[in-house]
Homo-oligomer: A and B are copies of this chain.
Amino acid sequence: MEINEAANVLSLLGLEGRLAIFRLLVRAGPRGVKAGDIAGALSSPPSTLTANLNVLSHAGLITRRRDGRMILYSANFGRMRELLAFLLADCCNGEPDICVPLMDVATRATCCASDAAEYEEMKS
């Protein structure tokens, strides 16, 4: 991930309402949550919620799929992993004596079996 993209993603997550949405979806896992349930959980007016969902979606942080009359949103764990990897990359200049535990984190930051699989596929 390039720095301008990372900065963009971070700034988008840096709004409490949006962070709350993202966190809710991260907690919910791959199954996703209905837009209406998100609105209910966060007591957000529908139009505000949609605006924020659009922003997160355009940034690739969440994905959307229709299920009958409702729309399910879920976190994009692959993207989340990219962001964490960016923040941790080359930490402490990679000096092993100082920073081994953190480099370890970067390579382990895969969440949720399905997404980890997708990510492995994407790389090849």
Contacts and interface: CB of A to CB of B under 8 A. Distances in A.
Contacts of A29: 91-93, 95, 98-99
Interface in A11-31: 11-16, 18-20, 23, 26-30
B19 A7 contact: yes
Size band of the interface chain A makes with B: 35 or more
Contact of A10 (B4, B14, B99, B105): B14
A99 B112 contact: yes
A3 interface: yes
Contacts of A39: none
Interface of A: 3-4, 6-16, 18-20, 23, 26-30, 77, 80, 84, 87-88, 90-93, 95, 97-99, 101-102, 104-105, 108-113, 116
